[in-house]
Amino acid sequence: MKKTALASLIVAASSLWLAGCLDGSSSSNDNAAPAPGETAPDTRVRVLPYLQNPTDTAISVIWFTDTDVAGELVVDGVGSFTSEPELVEALGYGDSEVEYIHGERNFGGIHADVAAGQAPALPYRHVVRVEGLSAATTYEYQVRQPGSETLMEAQFTTAPAVGERASIRFLAMSDMETEPESTEKNVAWGASALMIGGDKLETDPATYDRLYPVDQTTGYRANIQYAMERQPDFWAIAGDLVEKGGRQLDWDEFWRHAAGEWSDFASSTPIFPALGNHENYWHPEGGSYTPPAVMRSYDKWNSYWELPRNYGTDERYEKRYYRVDYGPVTLITLDSSNGDDSDPLKDTNLAIDGVQSRVPDFNRGSEQWNWAVSELADAQAKGQVIFVQFHHMPFGTGVHSLPSGSAGIPNNEDNQSGQPMRIYHELFERYGVTAVLAGHDELLEYVQLDGVHYWDVGFAGDGLRGPGYAPTTDYVPFDQLPTEAQETHWSAHGDAPEIWNGNQLIDGGKHYGFLEVEVRPAGSHDYEVIMTPRYVFPLMDEQGEVTGEFAHRQYNKVVRVQVQR
């Protein structure tokens, strides 16, 4: 249970990134808040304060501005701490991004205040690490930024002590794939063929070209509002946070939703992210998954996140895989970006050169594999309730669940298949993993296999796909699943049929949402885990036009698991 801080505490503040940070930014220690009587230059807060790396005794508060003026973090009952802003050169823009900002298709008005023909200024990062806090305690805080009129007040809560029998609630999302182009962009919205007498996992051909009734920006904004209402302890994102990891505009759009003009969700809820294929993607001078594109994308990733270290042999492995202990919960994040480049059956992205791009292999015997074995064994020995997240769904039915290969989707092979990640199932079963949280297929589905519960939570704010990839191929890789996974399979596409009243959708169907996970003590030693997929339902009038309002609902698939300890 959370408690209020009452006493002053010893706090260490630092604006330094964790050891191993490689963002290439420069910084100055000469920056300070203006002296009394001095006027600070006009300063724009580019990213509102957001929370990172919480423990039972510490937490980091991070924000970005467009000037090098120091800010002040004030934590009620604790003290006041001055930031040391650092210029982050990795967060720059390509020429095509500048053209977009000033072009006719900038419907969402991103960076509308930037002078014609100019790129936004490089931002300054402010990081304050507050230590010496009490476990499971809520603190009010505010950030005062001279030169800015932005009001920045929120609260944070420290984690319960490791192993403490506390109730934890967290949310899991994936595949929001933010980009400015999401405004006025509606995605394909195929319906199950069940209602026309076909198989429930197939798609009704009459809906191949049907579009979802709200655009991606609107749907994701509504999803975030629902998520905030649930008041989770933390927010897990299983990859594909942005459309293009090397494109700064897409990261700017991500923060508009998470800690910006559209919400301040991340100001009170720590984010634990995993890399998806899109966080390794795009370079302004050309190239999708080339080494320069992957390196540029990682530099942006590395600039935003402060995560527990894995002490990998390559400093660029940091923040790609890591472990978080939050009271009785352990969340292990893996990097499924790339495997064995010499064998498509062991590789999730045939376009990435892992050696040249400095992306870790995930296969048996690799550095990441050995790290995972050690962390899983330790968490099990401590009696933790274990969850694992990574991007590529191993046991799914979507387009990225086709067999791995280069023949192409029309020939029922995918060069970014999640099947190679099945190699980890033996570890998950051995070490008692409760659930695996993944994405990549941009749908919502679930299977159970040998006591491990697998979720694809890739329905946050981009695609709303179904199984297979109709009409490119009518093959649904359901037969690729093990027998038990077939028997326990559930999907929003096939098991939540649409219910219409004329032109008005009144229930069912595929919508934007998230998975809510609750971990509750049960008895003197055990835990109950309740996993509930929730979604935002766009309300329609009788003519089938959306009203602009959303209902907050849950799917008819609530999974309850008894975890014995």
**Same domain, residue pair 357 and 218:** yes
Structural domain contains residue 428: yes
Distance (Å, whole) CA 398 – CA 389: 18
- Residue span of the structural domain in which 289 resides: 168-563
At residue 14, the pLDDT reads 34
Q: Is residue 104 part of a domain?
A: no
Q: According to the 3-state scheme, what is the secondary structure of 92-150? A: CCCHHHHHHHCCCCCCCCCCCCCCCCCCCCCCEEEEEEECCCCCCEEEEEEEECCCCCC
Q: According to the model, what pLDDT value does residue 8 have? A: 29
Whether the bond between 471 and the residue before it is cis, its omega within 30 degrees of 0, is yes
Express each pLDDT in 366-412 by its tens digit. Answer: 999 999 999 999 999 999 999 999 999 999 999 999 999 999 999 99
437 lies in the same domain as 487? yes
Domain stops at, among 106, 133, 157: 157
- Shared-domain flag, residues 406 and 490: yes
Encoding tokens for residue 421?
A: 């990640």
pTM of the model: 0.94
Question: Is there a domain that residue 546 lies in?
Answer: yes
| pLDDT attached to residue 39 | 82
Classify residue 15: in a domain, yes or no.
yes
Residue ending a domain, choose from 103, 137, 157: 157
Identify the domain boundary among 134, 157, 180.
157
Same domain assignment for residues 64 and 177 = no
Question: Is the same domain home to 255 and 398?
Answer: yes
Q: Examine residue 102 and state whether it is found in any structural domain, yes or no.
A: no
**pLDDT per residue over 317-367, tens digit each?**
999 999 999 999 999 999 999 999 999 999 999 999 999 999 999 999 999
Residue 480 domain-assigned?
Answer: yes
**What confidence score (pLDDT) does residue 151 get?**
85
Q: In CATH, what number is assigned to the domain containing residue 471? A: 3.60.21.10
Tell me the residue type at 40: A
Rounded Cα distance, 102 and 118, in Å: 9
CB-CB neighbours of 90 under 10 Å: 20
Shared domain for 76 and 221, answered yes or no, is no
* 322-326, strands of its sheet edge to edge: 322-326, 329-333, 385-392, 435-439, 452-457, 444-449, 490-491
Q: Is 111 among the domain residues?
A: no
Q: Do 379 and 440 share a domain, yes or no?
A: yes
**pLDDT for residue 38:** 73
In a domain, 24, yes or no: yes
Q: Are residues 450 and 519 in the same domain?
A: yes
Q: What pLDDT sits at residue 34?
A: 65
| Same-domain pairing of 153 and 172 | no
pLDDT beneath 70: ranges in the chain: 1-37
pLDDT of residue 163: 87
Q: 3-class SS at 245? A: coil
Query: 134 and 173 share a domain?
Result: no
* Residue 277, pLDDT score: 98
Looking at the structure, tell me whether residues 253 and 297 fall in a common domain.
yes
> In a 10 Å sphere around its CB, with 0-12 CB exposed, 13-18 middle and 19+ buried, how is residue 171 labelled?
buried
* Domain at 44, CATH number: 2.60.40.10
Distances (CA, A) of 560 to 24, 165, 233, 434, 490: 46, 18, 19, 11, 15
Query: What pLDDT score was predicted for residue 403?
Result: 97
- Clarify whether residues 143 and 245 are in a common domain: no
Counted domains in the chain: 2
